[in-house]
Amino acid sequence: MQTSKPQKGALTETLAIVRSAIFAVIYTLLTVIYGAVAIVLKPLHPRIRHRIIVSWTHLVITLLSFICGVRYQLLGKDHLPSQNTPVVILAKHQSTWETLYLQGLFWPASTVLKRELLKIPFFGWGLQALLPIAIDRTNPRVALRDVKSKGVQQLSRSYNVLLFPEGTRVAPGEKGKYARSGADIAIEAGVDIIPIAVNSGHCWPAKSFAKYPGLVSVVVGKPISSKGKTSKVLIDEVEGWIESTMASL
């Protein structure tokens, strides 16, 4: 497995900041454009709007590679589901990078995210066109119920459901607590879970302005069946695969 972690030094840090500043300017312009376009596209069918707006994520990933040198490799392509077979995707969460990339890889996908993001001008408008499952984290009990019901509903419409079971970004080498909500959705809907390991935190650290050149590895695991399993057994199986795979990246 090819791996490439950024080498950091004074010169590397300076170049990373300069490149990141250029990326940030273009990223902001694209966000404004796509946010405005999302408003104009409202009369169209949701699936059409989704297809158009998700091209923003492709552009951002491409620009990140071209400007900041953040490349990626996709491993386990044979495990990708067909568009006629919706699944629940549970992914490692180290960076903003995978929230963008996985939207395109598993199109069409509804991502579980915090409701506050939808209130951000332009960015939130475009995000709404991607039909996310927005939750109110101030009321955990209601949030859990909403995630399950809306997740099952989106799967019935042939949308994949994307969750980050650790709930927030974690630094490379660290692990958060895996929530069972994704497993609950999969069991209720009777669909498989696709586990994802990704080591993007080395190139785009959480809460960092600088993006560092390097190779992000995305590993798609074999589908994990939800049939006949409790949510605890299922999420433990997912966690075991993701964390053991992360150890090899």
In the chain, the domains with their CATH numbers are 10-246 (3.40.1130)
Q: pTM for this one?
A: 0.90
Question: What 3-state class would DSSP assign to 65?
Answer: helix
Read off the tokens for 90.
Answer: 């549970």
Rounded to whole angstroms, the Cα distance separating 99 from 27 reads 15
Which residue shows structure tokens 């798609």? 220
The per-residue pLDDT for 4 is 56
Rounded to whole angstroms, the Cα distance separating 221 from 81 reads 11
What is the per-residue pLDDT across 128-154, written as a single tens digit (0 to 9) for each? 888 899 887 777 777 778 889 999 999
Q: Residues 159, 131: contact at Cβ < 8 Å?
A: yes
What is the per-residue pLDDT across 45-87, written as a single tens digit (0 to 9) for each? 989 999 999 999 999 999 999 999 999 999 999 999 887 899 9
Residues in the chain, how many? 249
Q: Residue 131, Cα to own-chain centre: how many angstroms?
A: 14
By percentage, how much of the chain surpasses pLDDT 70? Answer: 96
The per-residue pLDDT for 10 is 64
The per-residue pLDDT for 134 is 86
Arithmetic mean of pLDDT, 3-28: 82
The per-residue pLDDT for 138 is 75
The per-residue pLDDT for 135 is 83
Other C-beta atoms closer than 10 Å to the C-beta of 43 total: 6
Of 168, 163, 162, the closest CA to residue 207 belongs to 168
pLDDT at 28 over 70: yes
Arithmetic mean of pLDDT, 203-225: 95
User: Is the Cα torsion angle 84, 88, 93, 96 positive or negative in sign?
Assistant: positive
Of 86, 143, 106, the closest CA to residue 218 belongs to 106
The per-residue pLDDT for 116 is 87
The per-residue pLDDT for 3 is 52
